[in-house]
Amino acid sequence: MKQARASPDWQLDVERVRRWRKSFPAERTYCKSGSIVLSAADNVKGIFGMAVRQGWAQRIDWLRAGLLLSLVGNLGGSDSIADEPGIQVPAGFRVEQFADDELAHDIHSMTLDSQGRVVVSGPGYVRILIDADADGKAESFKQFVDKPATGSQGMFFLGSSLLCSGDDGLQIFRDDNHDDVADGPAQVFMKIEAGGEHHVHSIQKGPDGWWYVIAGNFSGVTSAYATVPTSPIRNPVSGTLLRLKSDLSGGEVVSDGFRNAYDFAFNSSGDFFTYDSDDERDISLPWYLPTQVFHVLPLSNAGYVTPGLKRPGSYPDMPPVLATFGRGSPTGVLCYQHQQFPAPYRGALFVLDWTLGRILVVTLSPEGSGWKSEPMEFAQGRDQFGFAPTDIEVAPDGSLFVSVGGRGTRGSVFRILHDGPTTPTANVETTSTTADKLNAILKAPQPNTSWSRATWVSPAKSLGADSFRTAALDESRRQDCLRVLILRRLGRRQ
């Protein structure tokens, strides 16, 4: 029997494919033995179907061409991540790749530590990404800890110690010797279901000094978690927003009725916002409700009762729905409180949709006791570029870091920058007078983040509570009022 082999002139020019990707709407490659041009817009199954109908030599050519096409156009293919990432952003913005899958695979969550360094977590790791030459790209990482085994879906650095979700619940990894490596095993401070997609997620330090945690509808939060008499909710249902004492000795249930909100954010007024998931099983049914951005109010219930039963935003006891975005899988949420991005984005919410690969923006303007919103799409993966965003953070310079991963997929971190003029922010450490230092503290960018707190908490304590009491009564500081009232409490809690 004659052995089948491919035509000797069969070639696939990968570099040509890469060049064509940048100049044509669809990827193309050549199969010379048949002088055939393939397009990534064609159904790959059809390509393999053609292989079945060819002779053996041509069949192998078709199969190889189809495999290359799958590789180049695949969501996780290495050629998908080039010098110019396939993420479409508005005019005036640009996207750079900060780290790729070789440094961090399948990223579940991301934070910036007290030094402003990017820290990511996936199954079995928490890593500090290192950009030693400050060229805007990480070239190595420092393994902070080989845990959680499940990966963490929420992290926050308090000084050098890491609080995160994962494995057995909410836990602390201490680094008292400041060598960027956890000193030992984690201390679990709250037992709660963790590691699953509908379990406990984000943990953050709130503007009032308490800790805030958001948990999905399978996290098992019951009345036992409302240990403080002031808890707004005593018998929670579905997903919850929890509030824990600064020393983690007890907590409250602030709000419930979420399906699976993954993250949340505070704005400069101290209000809460989150992006809750839809129930995909109800798609196309009359009672289907889309993904929703909520202004979360204490004692509110976001309407999710059971599968197939969710109250719409028109109900009078529902928290305000600021935006709906159809089908999706909500992940990261933040409020932009920096100066690099132009005015329309300052104070706006940025929310991530993992399923459709989108970064969405909800601008906020005061209206009565609440907020008037304007939703829009900010960024999306284009062509066949794989963009599954999991978390988002603001860098000290005001740019955005966005991580991608989830469900075993390729991990990466991208940076989004604006090229226009920016308003400089005052540096607390370089101010000389008390008045200038006070102004710099009150206007600190992203004031609740680890890296920002590292710049203003100590100077605020040195000024003393009286300085902030005086500022709180100053009518010219109305916009700073909430932050002033918070800083007044620094003498009593951290």
Q: What percent of the chain has pLDDT over 90?
A: 65
Burial of 193 (0-12, 13-18, 19+ CB in 10 A): middle
In the sheet that 118-122 helps form, which strands lie side by side, from edge to edge? 109-112, 118-122, 125-130, 140-145
Q: Which domains does the chain have, with CATH numbers?
A: 14-73 (no CATH), 147-391 (2.120.10.30), 428-491 (no CATH)
Q: What is the pLDDT of residues 259-283, one digit of tens each?
A: 999 999 999 999 999 999 999 889 9
How confident is residue 239, by pLDDT bands cut at 50, 70 and 90? very high
Q: Tell me the CA distances in angstroms from 172 to 166, 190, 473, one per residue in order.
A: 11, 10, 38
Strand partners, 217: none
Q: Three-state DSSP class for 292?
A: strand
CA distance 389 to 303: 26
The DSSP-derived string for 362-399 is: EEEEEETTEEEEEEEEEEEE-TT----EEEEEE-TTS-
How confident is residue 64, by pLDDT bands cut at 50, 70 and 90? low
- pLDDT of residue 12 exceeding 70, the answer is no
Least trusted range by pLDDT, from 39-53, 74-88, 106-120, 160-174: 39-53
The answer for residues whose C-beta is within 8 angstroms of residue 379's C-beta and 6 or more apart is 87, 88, 89, 95, 358, 359, 416
Q: What is the pLDDT of residues 240-265, one digit of tens each?
A: 999 999 999 999 999 999 999 999 99
Using omega within 30 degrees of 0 as the cis cutoff, is the peptide bond preceding 148 cis? Answer: yes
Q: What is the pLDDT of residues 349-404, one digit of tens each?
A: 999 999 999 999 999 999 998 999 999 999 999 876 789 999 999 999 999 999 99
The pLDDT score that the predictor gives to residue 321 is 96
Q: Tell me the CA distances in angstroms from 434 to 48, 379, 441, 462, one per residue in order.
A: 72, 42, 11, 10
How confident is residue 475, by pLDDT bands cut at 50, 70 and 90? confident
Question: 191: closest CA among 222, 150, 149?
Answer: 222
CA distance 220 to 192: 7
